[in-house]
Amino acid sequence: MADERTIDVAGEAVILLADRALYWPRAGTLIIADLHLGKADHFRRAGIALPAGGTSLDLERLDALLARTGAQRLLVLGDLLHGQVPDAPWRARWQAFRTRHAAVRVEVVAGNHDRALRRHPERAASMGLAVHAPHLREPPFLFVHAAEDAPRGEAGYVLAGHLHPVLRLPGLPRLPVFRFAEVGILPAFTAFAGGQPFAPARGERIYVCAPDAVVDVPSR
């Protein structure tokens, strides 16, 4: 299908999905980065008017991806949260998501926005999460939130998030991308995220998450 592409990363077949997720078939694992639950609520609490519904949309997309792939595990490469874990509407929507997918293990490699999960394990447990910090090693990969979090000398190809990379294609707005070079960078999963433009490096493999398509951008 046009909205997915199978590539080789560190000797492993992985599937890039246009909806900003990576599926690792051998491990039965759906991998995303930067979900930022509660981001809109955080801004509204600060007095900045934003529309509601962003978390619901993101979780509906996750529903569809889990159904499509049959993944037994969801791995989030950091920033599952945007801030604290208040008694906010998004929390109830997350708990409903966990109920729908009670058989799916949800693991988080804690990012800079996930301090509440690291400091309060009981909150992570109440959300149905297993938390790893600062990295998770599963050969051939080393999962982190930010690439600079990868420990020196640790074996494994680094897969990270954090940067929210975006690229503009002719006639289209800026779109999120997967980047694979010395490390792999996943796009931000949430639809409510800014993006960081970048200049593609020579030899870098870049895949744009276009509407209903994963587009291979030729390297220089």
Residue extents of the structural domains in the chain: 4-217
Lowest mean pLDDT of 1-5, 30-34, 39-43, 123-127, name the range.
39-43
pLDDT in tens, 116-136: 888 889 989 999 999 999 999
Close Cβ partners of 171 (under 8 Å, ≥ 6 residues apart):
none
Q: Does pLDDT of 10 surpass 80?
A: yes
Q: DSSP string of 132-199?
A: E-SEEEETTEEEESSGGGSPTT--SEEEE-SS-EEEEPTTS-EEEEEEESSSEEPPP-SSS---EE--
> If you average pLDDT over residues 9-36, what whole number do you get?
97
Mean pLDDT highest for which of 45-59, 70-84, 176-190?
A: 176-190
Q: Does pLDDT of 47 surpass 70?
A: no
For residue 12, what are its two tokens? Answer: 């492993």
Q: Tell the residue number behind the tokens 């990295």, with chain if given.
A: 135
Residue 84's pLDDT band, with cuts at 50, 70 and 90, is: low
The per-residue pLDDT for 48 is 44
Close Cβ partners of 130 (under 8 Å, ≥ 6 residues apart):
105, 106, 107, 108, 124
> If you average pLDDT over residues 48-61, what whole number do you get?
72
The per-residue pLDDT for 44 is 45
> If you average pLDDT over residues 79-106, what whole number do you get?
84
Alpha helices (H) along the chain = 39-45, 54-69, 89-100, 115-119, 121-126
What are phi and psi for residue 143, nearest 5 degrees? -90, 130
The C-alpha atoms of residue 193 and residue 200 are separated, in whole angstroms, by 21
Cα of 179 vs its chain's centroid, Å: 13
Q: Specify the CATH number of the domain 4-217.
A: 3.60.21
pLDDT in tens, 182-206: 999 999 999 877 789 998 889 999 9
Residue 8's pLDDT band, with cuts at 50, 70 and 90, is: very high
For residue 189, what are its two tokens? Answer: 């999963």
How many other C-beta atoms are found inside a 10 Å radius of the C-beta of residue 76?
A: 28
Mean pLDDT, all residues of the chain: 89
